Amino acid sequence: MLEDSQDPSLAPLGPIDRVSFLAEQARNRLASWKLISLCVITILAMGAVLGLIVTPLLLMAGRIFFGLVDAFVDFPDAMELVGQELDNLLQRVMSPFDDDTPRSFTILALAAWIVPGVLAIIGGWLAVRALFSGAGVGGVLEALQARPPRTGDVEEMQLTNIVTEMAIAAGVPPLRVLLVDSEIANAASVGLSREQATVVVSRRILDEMDRDETQGVLAHLVGSIGNGDLGIALMIMSVFQTFGLVLTVLDLPFSAAARRTFFFMLRYAFSSGNDPQGDRNATLVSNLLLSRQQPEAMSEVTLFMQRILGEKKGSPRMIIGSLILMMFLPLILARLFAFLLLSLVTLFLLGPLIGAAWRNRRRLADSTAVQLTRNPTGLARGLIHLSEIGDLMPGAGWGDLVFIVGADAGDARRQRALAERMATLRKEGGSLQERISGGAEAVASLRSEVDDKDTQKLSFASRQGLVASFHPSINSRILRLQAMGAEVEWTARKEFPWMRACLLPMAVLVLIWMVIAIFKA
C-alpha cells in the first residue's frame, strides 16, 4: 500500500501482488495432471467393481444356459465337461472366503472377480480409441456450418493473420481457420491433434470485438492447441464412449437399439478409410454410444420383460418366454448393476474430477494466452464481452468442451436479466401478487429462450447427466487475469465452492464404498 506522501503517479500498474503467467501455468498444469491421475485410478477402480458385480452374474447366465440346453439336447462329452467346469468355477467364485479356503485361492478367486472388469474397461477404451483414431472433425464442422474466410473480407483476412501470428508465437503448425455465421459469439479449437487443428470463430466476434479482444480469444485457442488439450478432450470423450460400449454389449441380448448401435459401430470399423461420409458416420456412432448411458436405455430392458410376462398364462409362448427370461435374468441384473455403478460413480466422483481437470486446462490456456500476447487485459475484456453475447453454439455437440466459453455464459446472462427484471418490479412497486406474476412471466420468457436455442440439450455435460461444468466461470477467469495484470473494471461475484463442499465428500464416500466392495465382497 502506498504511503500518503508518495506520488500516486508512481503507483505500479495492476495488482501489487501480481502473479506471473509462468507461475499460473505451472499451478494449473500440476493441478490438471493430479486430477487426471485421480480420474485414471477411479476408472480402474470402477472396472474392478464392475467385474466384482458382473463376473458372477455372467458365469451364472452361462451355467443356466448350459442347464437349459442340456435338458433338451444331449451334449457331447466335451460340452458336458465344459458345463461341469463352469459349474465348479461358479461355486468357487461365489464362496472364496470360507474358513477352510486357502489364502492363495482366495486371492486368485478375488482376481477372477476383478480382472475381467478391469480388462473390459481397458480393452473397451483401447477399442474406442482405435475406432475413432482416424476420424476427423468433419461431422462437428458440418453441424456448425463452418465456412472458409472470404478473400474479399478485410476483417476475415485479418483474423487469419492473427491466427498465423499466434501459431508462430506458440510454435504450432499452421492452423486452418473457419467461420460460423451465427448470432451467438463463441470460438473453438477442434481437431485430433495439433497438426490437424482447426480454429473456428463465429462472425459476431469480428463484428463486435476490437483487435485486442479478438487477439486474446484467439491466443487462448492457439495456446490450448499448443498445450495438448485436443488430445485430452478426445481422451475424455473416449472414457464416456467406453462406458457406452460396455452397456451396449450388455444390452445386446434384449435391446434392438443396442444391436443397431453395435451394427453401425462394426460397419464403421470395417468401412474404407476413403469413405467420404467417414466423419459423419463417426459422429453418428459416437452419439449412439453416448446415448446408451441415458436412463431411457433401461426402458428397453423393461419392455423386454413386459413382452415376455405379458403373454397369456399357461400358453406355450408364456412357458418358453419364462425359460428365456430365466436365462437372461442374470444378464438383466448385470446390466442394472453396471448402469447404477457407472451412473453413481460418474455423477459423484468421476464427473467432478474430469470437470475440475478440464477447468484447469481452460485456465492454463488463459495464462498461455497472456504469455503469447503479453496483454492480459485484451483476453479479460474479450471474456467480459463474451459474457454479454456468448453462449453454447448450436450443433457443437461434444465439441462444446473445446469452446472458449460454454453454456455458463448464456446462463449467467439470463440470470442477470432475471435479476434486473425483478429489481425493476420492486422499484415499480405494486402488490405482492403483481410482482409474483411479473417474476413468473420473466422466468417463463427466459425458459422459452433456452428452449428456442436448445442450449441445454446440446450441452455435453447435461446430456451425460453431469452436474459438474466443464468450463470455469467467467468470473473466476477474470479474477485470475486481474491477478496477472489485467486492467479491467469487473465487479467480482463471490462464488461458493459448492462442488468442493458437497460433491467431493460424497465422492470420497463412493470411493470408500468401492474399496470395501473390492476387498470384502
Question: Would you state the pLDDT for residue 176?
Answer: 93
Q: Is residue 440 part of a domain?
A: yes
Q: Is residue 438 part of a domain?
A: yes
Most confident stretch, 264-273, 323-332, 378-387, 406-415: 378-387
Cβ atoms of 266 and 248 within 8 Å: the answer is no
Q: Is residue 21 part of a domain?
A: no
DSSP string, 141-168: HHHHT-BPPPTT-HHHHHHHHHHHHHHH
The domain of 420 spans: 407-458
Sheet holding 176-180, edge to edge: 176-180, 198-202, 187-190
Q: Is residue 25 part of a domain?
A: no
The Cα–Cα gap between 171 and 152 comes to 29
Domain tally for the chain?
Answer: 1
The Cα–Cα gap between 351 and 96 comes to 34
**Mean pLDDT on 309-328:** 68
Q: Is residue 496 part of a domain?
A: no
User: With pLDDT > 90 as the criterion, what percentage of the chain qualifies?
Assistant: 24
Q: Is residue 444 part of a domain?
A: yes
Instruction: Name the more confident of 259 and 298.
Output: 259
**pLDDT tens-digit profile of 127-149?**
888 888 767 677 778 888 899 99
Instruction: Name the more confident of 288 and 414.
Output: 288
Total length of the chain? 521
Confidence of residue 278 (pLDDT cuts 50, 70, 90): low
**pLDDT tens-digit profile of 475-504?**
889 999 999 999 998 876 666 555 555 555
Three-class secondary structure assignment of 52-102: HHHHHHHHHHHHHHHHHHHHHCCCCHHHHHHHHHHHHHHHHHHCCCCCCCC
Q: Is residue 442 part of a domain?
A: yes
Q: Is residue 86 part of a domain?
A: no
Question: Would you state the pLDDT for residue 199?
Answer: 95
Q: What residue type is assigned to position 493 of the chain?
A: R
The Cα–Cα gap between 177 and 191 comes to 12
